[in-house]
């Protein structure tokens, strides 16, 4: 399978750079042409050097053919951007320009304006004027203005401007890339979990995505009719036997299955992994085998598998399938992770997708299972929590679908990390595999058998947990908690882990507390979390999530992101500045979903 070519065949959105200029000729415009175009070129170079697409290639920028001094040139730029596949626009200028004549009017494209802070020409005046126009026309735009005055001939981009340009563009590309893609629901509602009630209106109106649906019987059909690549299956099964360590069977003797049954389960879960991937993105090999329709896939950048219970009461569970697809490697080598939500929790799948597209790294799907207070840990184990964990811990654990990258066996600057696939070495991928054991599934939970991954996340990694919830009358709201993974002494972890299902992967997570609101304590974080699941991403990406949410008009109801890392459209300030969280709700309600 030519995975990269097939998976990313629709390409990626580009960033459009719009150099705007004072339209008065016979001296004014002519004196500004070079400076204005240089700003556009510098912006394009900055973004291409710092941002990459999910396939690892540098982000492409498109610059308008001319500076934009009026509506005719604005229209010509819009035409060029449409033909070039531009999905994000950034306007740059060092001077006064005619606001409503030069602005970007496309309502679905995230937009920002960088007004040069210089005294020779009033770039800041244009910035204020055009942002006022955007607010008046209901087209929220981000304002970028450097803190310090620059000289007219200074072609550098200040550090604060760089951060905002990169942060805006990173989030804007997520918006543009999701547009027109699909969420694939494999099955229906799992165990009454509200997040697996796939809300078509949410995906369409807020994300610009389709929702696609298949029944889980499609897996049975494809297995029984051999609608998968048999040669790849043999390769995969050999790789699994060599690289996937089978752990001990924790089931009571009376429930343990035979070696023959366990081997048959391995074959089934490998086929399930191939089939789920083919359902998401297609596979040209299937067309060669005579299955042209199945070869097309569903153009899905995220999916969910119901599993429990209609599938798992009879067939092996989906844990191996989900864990391997969510990881950055498999039998075909190191590659970009797929995003698959356990129990078809589409709302957790969405924040997994957000985290993946913002960082290009694998995501950890987990239950937000237990709050362990310092007092409880000390009572049960005799150990006193210190450092990041001094205020208590959240035990993040699910039945085994978390990406194997979550072991923390990859390193960056000598420290545990999760990395984009193009930075992962073969040795690091092998360490992730070696740190994972595959435990025969708990038959009391999964009557059909299967395997669950078991690993322990290394400590010391900056992490961000997030979750989308749907609220009647409001719509989607986003929760964000930045913190750190924590490593406990072995005997402490073992004692706590054995109080639940010890065959599942564990991440000990310590949110950063602020002493206020939902982050008054670790207990309050747990107490205010809106659902049973959360997505965990490497790094402190809460600021990027806030920026992205504002583009999609999704308010954020709890977060611990410092004020200097929050970046929303300038119009948000017109809804109040004393309480930004409340203003966020009002602004999102006022402007409405991006695609409605």
Q: Which residues are catalytic?
A: 343, 367
For 7, the token pair is 């998976």
The answer to whether 182 and 304 are in contact (CB under 8 A) is: no
The answer to whether 2 and 76 are in contact (CB under 8 A) is: no
Beta bridge partners of 114: 92, 144
CB within 8 Å of 348: residues ≥ 6 apart? 195, 341, 342, 365, 467, 468, 531, 533, 534, 535
Answer yes or no: is 367 a known binding residue. Answer: yes
The answer to whether 486 and 393 are in contact (CB under 8 A) is: yes
Answer yes or no: is 73 a known binding residue. Answer: no
Quote the crossing angle between the two packed helices 346-359 and 542-552, to the nearest 10°.
120
> How many whole angstroms separate alpha carbon 361 and alpha carbon 177?
16
Answer yes or no: is 343 a known binding residue. Answer: yes
What end-to-end distance do the CA atoms of the chain give, in Å?
A: 38
> How many whole angstroms separate alpha carbon 101 and alpha carbon 78?
13
> Helix (H, G, I), strand (E, B), or coil: what is residue 368?
strand
CA atoms within 13 A on the CB side of 432: 26
Contacts 24+ apart (CB under 8 A), 410-416: 415/460, 415/461, 416/458, 416/459, 416/460, 416/461, 416/485
CA atoms within 13 A on the CB side of 589: 11
CA distances from 153 to 105, 148, 157, 229, 572 (A): 30, 15, 12, 60, 33
Tell the burial category of 132 from Cβ atoms under 10 Å away from its Cβ (0-12, 13-18, 19+). middle
Nearest to 572 by CA among 558, 560, 556: 556
> How many whole angstroms separate alpha carbon 22 and alpha carbon 70?
8
CB within 8 Å of 48: residues ≥ 6 apart? 58, 59, 60, 61
Residue set of the binding site for Mn(2+): 343, 367, 533
Residue set of the binding site: 343, 367, 533
């Amino acid at each position: 399978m030519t995975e990269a070519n097939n998976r990313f065949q629709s390409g990626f959105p580009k960033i459009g750079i719009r150099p705007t200029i004072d339209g008065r000729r016979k001296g004014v415009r002519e004196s500004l042409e070079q400076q204005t175009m240089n700003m556009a070129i510098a912006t394009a170079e900055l973004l291409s050097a710092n941002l990459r697409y999910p396939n690892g290639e540098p982000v492409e920028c498109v610059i308008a053919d001319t500076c934009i001094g009026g509506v005719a040139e604005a229209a010509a730029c819009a035409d060029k951007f449409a033909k070039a596949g531009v999905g994000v626009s950034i306007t740059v200028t060092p001077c006064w320009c005619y606001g409503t004549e030069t602005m970007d009017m496309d309502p679905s494209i995230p937009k920002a304006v960088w007004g040069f802070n210089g005294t020779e020409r009033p770039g800041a005046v244009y910035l204020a004027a055009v942002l006022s126009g955007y607010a008046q026309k209901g087209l929220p735009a981000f304002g970028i203005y450097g803190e310090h005055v620059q000289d007219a001939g200074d072609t550098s981009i200040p550090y604060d401007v760089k951060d905002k340009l990169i942060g805006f563009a990173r989030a804007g590309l997520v918006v543009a890339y999701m547009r027109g893609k699909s969420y694939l629901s494999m099955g229906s509602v799992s165990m009454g979990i509200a997040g697996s009630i796939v809300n078509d209106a949410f995906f369409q109106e807020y994300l610009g995505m389709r929702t696609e649906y298949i029944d889980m019987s499609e897996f049975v059909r494809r297995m029984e009719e051999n609608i998968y690549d048999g040669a790849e299956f043999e390769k995969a099964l050999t790789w699994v036997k060599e690289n996937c360590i089978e752990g001990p069977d924790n089931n009571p003797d009376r429930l343990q299955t035979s070696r023959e049954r366990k081997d048959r389960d391995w074959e089934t879960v490998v086929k399930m992994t191939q089939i789920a991937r083919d359902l998401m993105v297609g596979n040209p090999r299937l067309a060669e085998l005579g299955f042209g329709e199945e070869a097309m896939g569903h153009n899905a950048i995220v999916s969910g598998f119901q599993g429990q219970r209609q599938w798992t009461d009879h067939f092996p569970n989906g844990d191996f399938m989900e864990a391997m697809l969510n990881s950055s490697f498999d039998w075909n080598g190191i590659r970009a992770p797929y995003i698959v939500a356990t129990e078809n929790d589409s709302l957790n799948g969405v924040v997994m997708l957000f985290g993946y597209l913002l960082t290009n790294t694998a995501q950890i799907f987990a239950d937000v299972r237990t709050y362990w207070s310092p007092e409880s840990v000390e009572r049960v184990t005799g150990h006193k929590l210190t450092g990041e964990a001094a205020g208590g811990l959240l035990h993040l654990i699910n039945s085994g679908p978390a990406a194997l990258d979550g072991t923390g066996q990859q390193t960056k600057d000598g420290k545990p990390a999760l990395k984009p696939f193009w930075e992962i070495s073969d040795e690091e991928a092998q360490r992730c595999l070696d740190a994972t054991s595959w435990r025969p599934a708990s038959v009391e939970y999964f009557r059909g058998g299967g395997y669950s991954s078991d690993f322990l996340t290394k400590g010391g990694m900056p992490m961000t947990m997030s979750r989308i919830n749907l609220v009647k009358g409001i719509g989607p709201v986003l929760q964000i908690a930045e913190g750190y993974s924590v490593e406990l002494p072995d005997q402490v972890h073992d004692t706590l882990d054995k109080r639940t299902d010890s065959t599942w992967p564990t991440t000990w997570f310590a949110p950063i507390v602020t002493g206020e609101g939902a982050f008054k304590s670790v207990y309050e974080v747990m107490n205010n979390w809106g659902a049973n699941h959360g997505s965990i991403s490497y790094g402190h990406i809460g600021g990027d999530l806030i920026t992205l949410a504002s583009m999609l008009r999704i308010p954020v109801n709890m977060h611990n992101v410092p004020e200097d890392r929050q970046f929303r459209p300038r119009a948000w300030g017109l809804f109040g500045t004393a309480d930004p969280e409340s203003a966020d709700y009002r602004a999102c309600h006022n402007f409405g979903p991006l695609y409605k």
